[in-house]
Amino acid sequence: MNHLRYIALGFITASLLIPAHAADKSKKPTAKPYPLSKCVVSDEKLGSMGEPFVFTHEGREVKLCCKSCEKDFKKDATKFAKKIDDAAKLVKAYPLQTCLVSDEKFGGDMGEPYVFIHEGREIRLCCEACMKDFKKSEAKFIKKWDAAAKKAR
């Protein structure tokens, strides 16, 4: 009778572990960061109407000034996606191998870097928590980014 308990416990444990393991393998790739500082639909500056409405469309991040722009985006998604893709081609690549804020190497315990576009530059941070420091001293970090890009040439 005791053996049956152990067998049942084994099955329960296995059933709990299998879905978690399967979820790890099915992680979706990160969407390409949104390259514009304005809403692709209305041309309003992002943040001018509160928090931007953010979603993913065909592997790319889309940021709209408000939720109501979503229906216009969906009406002509191809046109707006092209506008986003054209802007993405102009983004300057990240010139460092470390976090712009903490100088930590990417990967390891921190996982994938937090990537976004700021003023036409790709920014990579070791984690989203570094965003607070970036926002506090944007000019300082942009100067550091520009110096690294100049050195890389």
Q: Which residue among 39, 74, 90 closes a domain?
A: 90
Question: Residue 9 and residue 76: Cα distance in Å, rounded?
Answer: 54
Q: Of all helices (H) and strands (E), which one includes residue 143? A: helix 138-152
Which residues is 122 bridged to in the sheet? 117
Do 111 and 150 fall within a single domain? yes
Domain limits for position 140 = 92-153
Per-residue model confidence as pLDDT tens digits over 69-108: 999 999 999 999 999 999 999 999 999 999 999 999 988 7
Q: Which residue among 90, 105, 122 closes a domain?
A: 90
Do 85 and 99 fall within a single domain? no
pLDDT for 15 beyond 80: no
Total of domains in the chain: 2
Phi (first) and psi of residue 126, to 5 degrees? -65, -25
Q: Are 91 and 121 in contact (CB under 8 A)?
A: yes
Do 97 and 53 fall within a single domain? no
Residue ranges in 44-121 assigned as alpha helix (H): 69-75, 77-88
Confidence (pTM):
0.71
